[in-house]
Amino acid sequence: MLNMTLTMAFIKISVKPRAISKMRPFLRTITLLSTLSLLSSCGTTTSGGAVGADRSQLLLVSSAQLEAMAVKQYAAMKTEADTEGTLNKDPAMLQRVKAISQRLIPQTAIFRGDALDWNWEVNVIDSEQLNAFCMPGGKIMVYSGLINKIALSDQEIAIVIGHEIAHALREHSREQVSQAMAAQTAIDIGASLLGLGAATSNMASSGYQALVASKFSRNDESESDRIGLELAARAGFDPRAGITLWGKMITASGGNAPPEFLSSHPAGASRVKQIESLLPTVMPLYWATQ
């Protein structure tokens, strides 16, 4: 409902009260139908685990659709990197990343049992980028710069990969696509019913992207931090490495980040604070493996 509220906030200033009054019955009907549609499309992709990650999600597209896209994109990336001679250039680094991932993957069953049946893949691209990701269906890619440029330990690499796996477990890509579909539909309906032009609709879309979509993305990142921390702890990696990891990331960024309010990622200090708050929950899981 935030997207519809934001749309109306943008458009109400340029529409006469009489026009709004005439359209109210139609708007109420559209709002009711939209609400029923969204409620029927809500669910959760995971159980909560120890950290609690089972909030309701808007899921308008299927897992199969996103996973099929991920398979194609991942294969294309591997082909391109292989052609450029940057795929798995360092066998020792590849083995290191695979060994860490193979300890993390069995822990995914805590959050969703079907993840054990995914066709997991782990590869490393030789690049200066500080980056890593896990596509839907378990397609992991780590960039060598992330490990080399800030000298990550195995414990810290596990925190990173656990975080990226969490995105796939929670199907955040699927959720983001669904949110974008719902938001654009609300914006288009509002603009059409009230006779507004493309400029107003585009302004509402921009407002949604800056103020609402980025909030969803920050929530996804925080959620993945929590799940990733638990995955790492259950796999026998010290979750306190999350604190040292973000200390290194903050130093590497040099403070050149957008304000947290308009950023798609929480600020490093916020992430450290969250990790510290979760240590009483996840440290016993880690100690149980030692």
Count of CB atoms within 10 A of residue 1's CB?
Answer: 11
Do residues 70 and 135 touch, judged by C-beta distance below 8 A? yes
274, amino acid identity? Q
From residue 212, alpha-carbon distances to 74, 84, 157, 251, 266 in Å are 29, 38, 31, 28, 14
Q: Helix (H, G, I), strand (E, B), or coil: what is residue 52?
A: coil
pLDDT at 5 over 90: no
Q: Helix (H, G, I), strand (E, B), or coil: what is residue 3?
A: helix
Confidence of residue 182 (pLDDT cuts 50, 70, 90): low
Dihedral angle of Cα 167, 173, 174, 175, to the nearest 10 degrees? 80
pLDDT of 201-229, one tens digit each? 444 444 434 333 434 367 778 888 999 99
pLDDT of 106-157, one tens digit each? 999 999 889 999 999 999 999 998 889 898 899 999 999 999 999 999 999 9
pLDDT of 24-68, one tens digit each? 554 454 444 444 444 445 566 556 677 776 666 556 666 677 778
Dihedral angle of Cα 206, 211, 212, 216, to the nearest 10 degrees? 120
Catalytic residue check, 164: yes
Least Cα distance to 167 among 209, 91, 223 occurs for 223
Q: How far apart are CA 20 and CA 11, in angstroms?
A: 11
Over residues 240-255, mean pLDDT = 86
pLDDT at 288 over 90: yes
Do residues 153 and 100 touch, judged by C-beta distance below 8 A? no
- Active site residue: 67, 121, 156, 164, which one? 164
Is 0.85 surpassed by the pTM of this model?
no
146, exposed or middle or buried, with CB in 10 Å at 0-12, 13-18, 19+?
buried
Least Cα distance to 146 among 138, 155, 156 occurs for 156
